[in-house]
Structure 1
Amino acid sequence: MLYFFRQILRNEWYFVLLMGLLSRGIIIITMMGITPLLHIGADNNGVNFGWEVFSAWDSGLYQQIAINSYDTSDTEPGSNVAFFPLFPLLIRLGTVVGFPSNLVGIIINNTAFIVTLFVVYIWVKKTNDDVAARWVVAILAWCPLSIFGTVIYTEGVFLLFSSLALFSFENKQYTQTIIWGILATATRITGLALIPTFLFIAWRKKLSFMAYFTAFASGGGTFLYSFYCWFYFNDPIAFITVQHTEWQRKRGIDWEGWGRMLAEITIGGKNWAAGSLVDVWHPLLFILIIVIAYGLWCYRTFIPKVYFDYSLCSLFFLLWLLSGDSLLNTLSVLGGLVLLLCSRKRLSLVVYIYGLFALGLLLSSGGTISLNRLAYGIISLSIALGVTVSRSPRWGYFVLGFFSLLLITFSLRFAQNQWVAILP
């Protein structure tokens, strides 16, 4: 058996497929096998079993759009107008031939996610090397937020089209870039980060006029949806308007939301909610962890590297136990920005610039809800993390082990209709 797995790992294509299938298998087993066991003889509290377990929160809105189109009330846009049309359209095409919408959504998203792994592997192998490519694929597949590449969400589809658009532009295949860019920007508004990315690269590398045209044309998906909103709702940015009216998003950076998350990490959620020091242990433990980490860093030359690495990993794990989701949510965005800056010399210019523009778009979106999930949809972050840990496998194995634990946890939470991404 060990020989069999070694042979698989030596074949690059089998490795990519193995990472995709094993991580998806963990999700499916957890959601369809373990979750029902936790509710035997108990009140299910709305928990679904079977294929319905992959449909929760935004999933139902995508299926609703696919079946009934967008909500309208006296020509006013409904809240589901915030969701872009390509994924619901693909689901609708599947239902036309007789398949149920939930099954179609699952197949589309999972297929797109697996294909993304192959595309990213080829891309990173070309820009870096085989070792880095394998680590990037492993990071992308086992990241706990990759659960959204399996349930009825747009992560798999958006990752595929945005990766193909970036890869094609890097190879100066402008016609393909336009096609993939249109599909990406018809899937999610964050795809608009492709436009400034391509414009900057075209300017920096003094590319032809076609590169500039490609940059604008790649936003065609969002432009077409904007015309749709203009025609039906007399508001070309209805998909943004409803986020402010229905979801109460702020304009610009949500300083209050970020302040709350940082406070929950440093002083604790109870102290933040009470406005006073009702839990003295949280800030004391936080300070203790930071002091120990600082001491380890100052004396790192006197500590064997293996002990230094394991000590920092243990401290991070303790900090996660102390701070929970607030730490993970903050690291997804702010940590991702630091990661990009630190690894910029090992990334292609397209990957680096796209990551910066996409993160900037998220930070200025006016809210913190679901930002960690949306950050996972920025392929640059997975590439940056994979390339970084490829130079230090010990950290890579810790990251994958931690990711695997969270992947199971997130799968249980989603299957029980509990919120997985950043809360509002």
Structure 2
Amino acid sequence: MRENYKFPITMWLSSRLLIVVAMLIIAPLIPVPENGVYATFSLDILSAWDSSWYEKIATYGYDFSSDVKQIHTVAFFPLFPLLTRVLMTIGLPFKVAGTLVNNIAFLAALIVLYFWAEELYGQKAARWATAILAWCPYSLYGTVIYTEGLFLLCTIAALKSFEKKQYVWATFWGVLSTATRVPGVALIPAFLFVSWKENRGIKAYIASLTTGLGIILYSLYCQLKFGDALAFIHAQKAWRGDATGFALQGWWKMLMQITVGFTNWEFGYIKDPLHPLLFLIIITCGCLLWHFRLKLGNMKFRYGLYFLWLLLWLLTGDEIFKIILVFGGIYLLWLSRNKIPLVTVVYGFSSLALILNTGITASAERYAYGIISLSIAFGLLLERYPRWGYPIMCFFAILLGHFSVRFARDLWVA
């Protein structure tokens, strides 16, 4: 058993070491433009964007008013700041406490995932799934002061417990999931559907419904304190306005920026022909490479695709990775629907449906990373094709370092 712990711990430690080196050593050495933010050699680099709102909650509590155009802390769910506050009561500053909560939870999530996947599929698949979760570029949010680590731990443990018919534990972890982030509610339809499909009995239905206690208790708190049981939903308007449903315009804009370039999209015509020309050349080369793959051989074919993908990423930026993660994740989940537990499949599709119906595209890739179903499905795929897996992990490492530097300089990542 002790031997089996080594792999998830090694994946956690090595990937976190890359983040620390990128944020504390590399980022401060990079010159920044005028009015840019310099990275400092301190824990301050782990706190940016949403981190400041968690600090306000842990330090001063929640706030809300009827002016939903202002940003209110009630939009953020309570479990993470509550656990951080517990550590602060023993004398730890917020940045230390928040970092400890997220990192310890993320390490625990990797361990739980590893043992669950090993039990289901064997050691190789477990290692790939764990490595993907640890090295995916958005695993950065399992180290900085965000809720990703805690949310992943709670959802993985809840899904594992329900799949093994351990309904008390499924309820416990499910309640913690819905008290951590809104997407935790995707567990409820997943549990209910599996309870019906597999005719599991009354205990399964009770566990399914009581999973929502996390969000119900938070709603009750909002009613008692602010007189608005849905204050956390109303407060979200400060970020997304009145946008609801599928963000067709946002996704279309992203697709056009990938194909014709940001400048041409802004002007509404082809002002800079270089971007669409380069994009067309890369896609044409990819098609030719696929057509002549048998004549070229596996090695030349693979290295050719690696090179073209690198060029495509350098040309289009993060947008292509976001689209592949979200929409490619839907396709991957569908292909893997008969290979992974049913509760995990339904949870994955429910979570993706939530992501695609927020009315905005911001942070969609980070939320997709938090869907453990995708890591498991991708792990099974790379187990079958490990020669594709190794360069993908190298690319992940490059992006993880790149994102870490950006976050340390207070630049938007996801």
The TM tier, using the shorter chain, reads: over 0.9
Corresponding residue number in structure 2 for 1:63:
55
Cα deviation digits, residues 274-320 of structure 1 (max 9, x gap): 11101112222222222222233344344422222222222221111
Counterpart check, 1:181 vs 2:174: yes
Correspondence for 1:228? 221
1:339-359 CA-to-partner distances (Å, cap 9, x unmatched) read 112222332222222111111
Determine helix, strand or coil for the equivalent of 1:358. helix
1:88 maps to 2:70 = no
Paired with 1:19 and 1:156, the residues of 2 have a C-alpha distance of 14
Structure 1 pair 74/237, CA: closer, same or farther in 2 (3 Å)? Answer: closer
Counterpart CA distance in 2 for 1:200 and 1:73 is 38
Provide the residue aligned with 1:3 in structure 2: none
Corresponding position of 2:17: 25
What's 2:309 paired with? 316
Q: For 1:193-232, what aligned pairs fall within 5 Å after superposition?
A: 193-232=186-225
Return the alpha-carbon distance in structure 2 between the equivalents of residues 193 and 345 of structure 1: 20
Q: Give the match for residue 230 of structure 2.
A: 237
Aligned mates of 1:60, 1:297 — CA distance in 2: 48
* Structure-2 change in CA distance of 1:314 and 1:346 (3 Å): farther
The answer to whether the aligner puts 1:360 opposite 2:353 as a matched pair is yes
CA contact (8 A) 2:129 2:375 kept: yes
Map Cα deviations across residues 393-413 of structure 1 (whole Å, 9 max, x no partner).
111011100000001100000
Q: CA separation in 1, counterparts of 2:154 and 2:132?
A: 19
Q: Percent identity?
A: 45
Deviation per residue, 1:168-206 (Å, 9 max, x gap): 000000000000000011000000000010111111111
Is the CA contact 2:72–2:235 (under 8 Å) kept in the aligned structure 1? yes
Verify the 8 A CA contact 2:25 2:41 in the aligned structure 1: no
Q: Cα distance, 1:44 vs. partner?
A: 6.5
Amino acid at match of 1:64: K
Worse overlay, 285-294 or 217-226? 285-294
* Deviation at residue 385 of structure 1 after TM alignment: 1.3
Determine the C-alpha separation between the residues in 1 that align with 2:326 and 2:223: 32
Q: Matched residues in 1 for 2:149 and 2:411: separation? A: 21
CA separation of 1:40 and 1:315: change in aligned 2, threshold 3 A: closer
User: How does 1:61-210 map onto structure 2 within 5 Å?
Assistant: 61-73=53-65, 78-210=71-203
Q: Secondary structure at the match of 1:345?
A: coil
Paired residue type of 1:181? G
Q: What's 2:411 paired with?
A: 418
> Do 1:333 and 1:375's aligned partners in 2 also have CA atoms closer than 8 Å?
yes
Equivalent position of 1:16 in the other structure: 8
For 2:296 and 2:405, the matched residues in 1 are separated by 39
**Structure 1: runs of 5 or more not aligned:** 1-9
Number of matched pairs: 412
Name the counterpart of 1:270: 263
Give the alignment's Cα RMSD to 1 decimal: 2.0
**Structure 1 residue 49: Cα displacement:** 3.3
- Return the match for 2:288 from 295, 319, 343: 295
Matching of residue 328 in structure 1 with residue 321 in structure 2:
yes
Equivalent position of 1:45 in the other structure: 37
Asked whether the 8 Å contact 1:70–1:78 carries over to 2, the reply is no
Relative to structure 1, the CA distance from residue 408 to residue 249 in structure 2 (aligned partners, 3 Å threshold; closer, same or farther) is farther
Residue identity opposite 2:306 in structure 1 = C
Q: Does the 8 Å CA contact 2:103/2:142 hold for their aligned counterparts?
A: yes
1:391 corresponds to which residue?
384
The answer for unaligned runs of 5 or more in structure 2 is none
Superposition deviation, residue 246 in structure 1: 4.8
- Name whichever of 192-201 and 237-246 sits farther off: 237-246
TM-score norm. by structure 2 comes to: 0.95
- CA distance in 2 between counterparts of 1:354 and 1:332 reads 16
TM-score in terms of structure 1 length: 0.93
